Chains A and B, each alone.
Chain A
């Protein structure tokens, strides 16, 4: 249990650091690399990437959203036909980021499993 929390935290923090210089998909590589390094149960490996990015993106987007008074997120919601409620777009952002990072961490885990470690 501890190890998954550590993986989540590492994915969030390292992605946060690298995303300032590198394209958005670096989150997938970070999630992949962390699972590759730490390994663990394959059934849980999706969630290290998922929660790492979900939490990080949700917090980041929510802070911006609140400071902006939900002005832009409402317009983006209208653009994508989402309900125009505070934080909905932040939640969708985090979900999408989480899913793609989760696939990254799952892939990393499976890669490690190929070598039976």
Chain B
């Protein structure tokens, strides 16, 4: 077991929406009771469809937003939004490389910004560090003076990764880092990410809806549905034999490049329910073919089943 760098205990985040002068605001439980541990040098993948709370988790973990309940421990200490040390430990790479770089700043300025804000380095030292990091992610020194609009999506994402690395963090939150990129560029960026992980012993919290990417990169996996963790465990174990009906459906939807393999697509019926008004009991029961009356009454607790945590009364 490596050193645990990040630990979440029952992390929750609720939003109040709507609500006018005469109407009570509705509560969206975007994230409920998420608990996990992340070790140095490992990758924890968080998967699920749109609106399941993946990005909320990213925002809570990076302290952009305060959790409504639960604790976040970074290096064994409780995370505080104002702490400079914490901030230097955890950094984020966003999904959209076209929106995440300030269009009015040069690449050099973008990379040096975290150093400028958090350290007392002088300009020459900052520049040296920026160029080192650029080399690390495969950018050339002459890119230092250019503006973001002069780069392609893949290059921009590399700039974003370089910026996240500037403070020498131990944890990187990757919020769908490759889903906006072409397939060939995806592989390139993923390779850079796994090289960096080896060199710098980084822990990744890899958020994605693309299971083929997750399979390629993750050590552990956590599947979410409507704000709740439905299955979590070792990636190999979960991929080999998913226990939760939702995980199974999700995995059957991923195309595999193997014509010999028999396709057994599990079709989910119905829509993702509104998070404003989730179904009672297990949130997945209206779409689940194994659902019984028990599922409609109480939400299943997470239990250990076949070497992983599953929140289901009828694990496969």
Task: Decide whether A and B assemble into one complex.
Answer: no
Listed in ascending order, the chain A residues whose CB lies under 8 Å from chain B are none
